[in-house]
Structure 1
Amino acid sequence: MPNTLSTPKAITLIALSIMIIFSGIIAFDAPSTIVLIAAGAAVIILSMIWGIKWEVIEKDLLDSIRSMFIPILILLAVGMMVGIWMLSGTIPMIVYYGLLFIKPSIFLFVVCLACCLMSIMAGTSWGTIGTIGVAFMGVSIGLGVPLPYTAGAIVVGAIFGDKMSPLSDTTVMSAAVSDVRLVDHIRHMLYTTVPGLVISLLLYLVLGFNYSGEIENEKITSIMNTLDTHFNLNPILLLPPIVILFLIYRNKPTLPVFGVGIILGGLLAAIFQGQGITEIATALNEGFLSSTGVELVDEMLQRGGLEGMLGTVGLLIAAAVFGSPLRSAGVIDVILNSIQRLAKTGKSMMLSNLSLHSFMFIITGSYYVTFAVLGPMMKSMYDKYGLHRKNFSRTLEDTGTALAPLIPWSVTGAFIAETLGVATGDYALYAPMLYLGIIFAIIYIITGFGIAKVEPTNKGNTNAAQHAADI
């Protein structure tokens, strides 16, 4: 039996996958989880018919799910942490003072910059989105700013910090698999990331001023009075996010850090809000459920809980069911071999790699998979054409880290949609930095601006030298 499929069969699997996904999600509006499982099942059946052993598929499937296990645990921990921080009054207090001090006209601008700062210091987009991001969504409701706008600003800020922070796992991983110094990788990403951030910030200023005249002071006053009545808003309630930020900044493991946040939230809920063990357990499991009697306040507070994240966990497992058999069938190997045969210049090679990683990331939904699988296989291509490998490490982030929030079934995209309560398609338009990085990357490849060069590896090969000159 073959270890990999032939090129025509690999292309057939890809075409079938695309047809099932687009027809299921767009034409029939079916749930993404079911569509991904259906596509995965079709790929598995055809692969086995064409000679791929089930043992190989099973191993890759288990490996994919195993790689997602820690992110899944973090996802569940964030759900519990949001629920208990609502019950303890931590998030309501942040919302209260956000309504008190932030002007609606600059709200989106401030949100984006605040998330940039926290994510750079903490090195985690998930930690940023699951803490101050959730609080900002509550402020957004109070100010009357559309939630997709706010979600977009939160995501842009969080992902910018995730890409630029030396503490970020994606930053470290993309540099490592490309054999690039971390500082060189971060500096090189400025070319594609900063222009997108600036354009995003300008967008948030424009959107903010457009909505600044529609805010009702009476509504804000009502929200603040309701929060003040139902919660004991003591400054000590800010302790959990401060501790979380400090621990993550000190590069402590994310899962234990969130555990500390959950424990602190439970203690504060008991001490300052008078909640018992039953109420605390319910908030951890089901989220904040108490009713304040004011519909707008209930809308911003009734979030979190472990149960609310289970659907997202199912989506991530479905993504593994879909993506892993493509790897088992050798589809990635077939495509890479085709690129190596067809790429005649450094430009065409870089454009092909950018397209391939984007495509494979959309398929698998996990940069942990694509970085680890494609990184070691692609990086050597750059040596042949006299191109620095930091061009490749930047491509991984532009088409992985930044693209992740735009893919509903990706680990990050599913986490954001569930945590912020806004569908991926609703906030995507208001997070331009995420896709502008790819656009700028393509422009740089075509023009040669921002493309780092080195001496070709095979110096005696005049063809390789010519390829480098073509850039």
Structure 2
Amino acid sequence: MAEETASSRRQPSAAVAVVSFLAIVAVLVVLINLNVDTTMSLFVATIMAALVAFALKIPWKETESVLLKTVADCIPTFIIVIMVGMLVGIWIAGGTVPALMYYGMKIVSPSILVPLAFILCFLTSEFTGTSFGSIATMGVAFVGIASTTNIPMALVIGAVVCGAWFGDRMSPMSDTTNLASGVSRVPLYTHINSMLYSAVPAAVIAFVMFAIAGIAMGGGHTDPESQQIIMNALTENYNMSIWLVLPALMVLVVSALRMPAFLGFGLTIIVSVIFAMLTQGVGFVDIMNYAANGFSIETGAGPMVDNMLNRGGISSMTVLLVTFMVASLMGGIIKATGILEVIANEVLLKVIKGKTALVVVTLIYGYVVNFLAAGGQTVSIIVTQQTFEEAYERLNVDRRVLSRCLEDSATLSAPIVPWGVATLFVMATLGCGLEYIPYCWFIFLVPIAAVVCAATNIGMWDADGNRMWGKYKGMKGAPGKEPAQPVK
């Protein structure tokens, strides 16, 4: 029976794989452009993927096994999203986020607000290992500060997102950094060192662009009236003190101790609960409800202030979690169909003639999988690595280049996928739409830097770990395999 089942399964041809792929993408794009709810658009695309699996006669048990494995890989992210929602509600009730906003308005000059948002969100993610946590804490504070200036909010959020994902990508505590390193079998810090070659040039250029744009587009001016309204509302509703930022610094402590994300966030939540009760006099039952349902207050200053403070809680993440789950289902089914592997092996790998083309195709493939998997970084990293590992060995390119490409595409593209989980998180947490995506300059620059590295050999290594720049004279072909040819 097993042999009959295996033989009945159809291996998709290149044409079938491409058509199936385009059909699934078309469903997503068309429905979303028709303003169909993102979760429902993903659900319909999931059904489309299931129909492809059915047409290929893939046994349901096989599909289910891959699907469950994909969902299981996403569970740590589910937990982090839930805990971030709790922490935002607690920090707003306890005065931590309001204090960051209050003192930020007093200290931060509008002329440096945008580049500062990029740098501080980078540092927050670098120390915590989570872009979501950086968005929900430092990002919320900068959005509040920016609301009193004439700087376009989309620009500020673009800087926040770029900084958050830059730090997440380079942090040894990040789940995606460890995943890309692990599946590629590259030592963690070797992987991080490799990423510097594409990240640092892109970060420097993006920082300069944010600095220039912050002044050119906003003029560095503050709206004193709006700022005073917000600051007065905060002092009237909170026992304001600089000590209120201590729970935020707690995140740096757990990072220095290199605690796992779950334990680190758990300890931070416990400390933040105690802090809120002691500094603001919030009751234990109330703080638990804020963690579950979000903070709610009427400051008397109007919607401008109330909308910044009425947020957080697990309930604010419910739609995101459901969408994430549906996206995971779709990604698992697509992986089970094998159409991505066929597209890679029968179409993409055939055009690869050298290391530059290899890097370009890897980046494109990582982006495509991530867009198809609704920003599912885990799925994209794993599928892309499995698809291209052999090609890197064949062209005598070190795996650290592959692991870097996984992050340059799969990790960084997450917050620019319009229907993706990360994008929905940014919009839900910062109260914005998709208008921030064109300002994600760092995310767009990194792949360009990666291609430049491949073309110039700078930041490239052969399979033996020898660097390809300088006086390197390498050979193409996996070690021990003949014939070997000069690298192009």
Q: Given the two structures, how large is their TM-score scaled by the length of structure 1? A: 0.92
Alpha-carbon distance, 1:387 to partner: 1.8
Q: Pick from 282, 306, 309 the counterpart of residue 314 of structure 2.
A: 306
Letter in 2 for 1:402: L
Describe the SS at the equivalent of 2:313: coil
Letter in 2 for 1:32: T
Q: Does 2:213 align with 1:207?
A: yes
Q: Does 2:418 align with 1:418?
A: no
Equivalent residues in 2 for 1:43-122, closer than 5 Å: 43-122=49-128
Alpha-carbon distance, 1:2 to partner: 0.8
Equivalent residues in 2 for 1:15-54, closer than 5 Å: 15-26=22-33, 28-54=34-60
Relative distance call for 1:376 and 1:17 in structure 2 (3 A) is: closer
Once the two structures are superposed, what CA deviation does each residue of 1:292-316 show, in whole Å capped at 9, x if it has no partner?
0112221221111111111111111
State the distance in 1 between where 2:376 and 2:67 align: 13
State the distance in 1 between where 2:177 and 2:300 align: 45
**Match of 1:360?**
369
State the distance in 2 between where 1:79 and 1:460 align: 53
State the distance in 1 between where 2:480 and 2:260 align: 44
State the distance in 2 between where 1:256 and 1:382 align: 37
State the distance in 2 between where 1:465 and 1:410 align: 42
RMSD between aligned residues: 2.2
**Match of 1:369?**
379
State the distance in 2 between where 1:124 and 1:276 align: 29
Equivalent residues in 2 for 1:375-394, closer than 5 Å: 375-394=385-404
Relative distance call for 1:374 and 1:216 in structure 2 (3 A) is: closer
Which stretch shifts more, 382-391 or 335-344? 335-344
Equivalent residues in 2 for 1:121-200, closer than 5 Å: 121-200=127-206
**Match of 2:342?**
334
Relative distance call for 1:87 and 1:144 in structure 2 (3 A) is: farther
State the distance in 1 between where 2:263 and 2:398 align: 38
Q: Does 2:273 align with 1:253?
A: no
**Match of 2:442?**
433
Which runs of 5 or more structure 2 residues have no equivalent in the other structure?
1-7, 464-474
State the distance in 2 between where 1:25 and 1:86 align: 33
Could you tell me whether the CA contact under 8 Å between 1:140 and 1:150 is conserved in 2?
yes
Structure with the bigger RCO (C-alpha within 8 Å, sep 6+) is 1
Once the two structures are superposed, what CA deviation does each residue of 1:356-403 show, in whole Å capped at 9, x if it has no partner?
222112212222223233324422321221222222111111001111
**Match of 1:325?**
333
Relative distance call for 1:310 and 1:428 in structure 2 (3 A) is: same
Describe the SS at the equivalent of 1:143: coil
Which runs of 5 or more structure 1 residues have no equivalent in the other structure?
none
Could you tell me whether the CA contact under 8 Å between 1:3 and 1:330 is conserved in 2?
no
**Match of 2:4?**
none
Once the two structures are superposed, what CA deviation does each residue of 1:378-436 show, in whole Å capped at 9, x if it has no partner?
2232122122222211111100111111114444333333222223x221111201121
State the distance in 2 between where 1:270 and 1:183 align: 40
Relative distance call for 1:205 and 1:347 in structure 2 (3 A) is: closer
Alpha-carbon distance, 1:179 to partner: 2.7
Q: Does 2:230 align with 1:220?
A: no
Once the two structures are superposed, what CA deviation does each residue of 1:154-187 show, in whole Å capped at 9, x if it has no partner?
1111222222223323223222322333333223
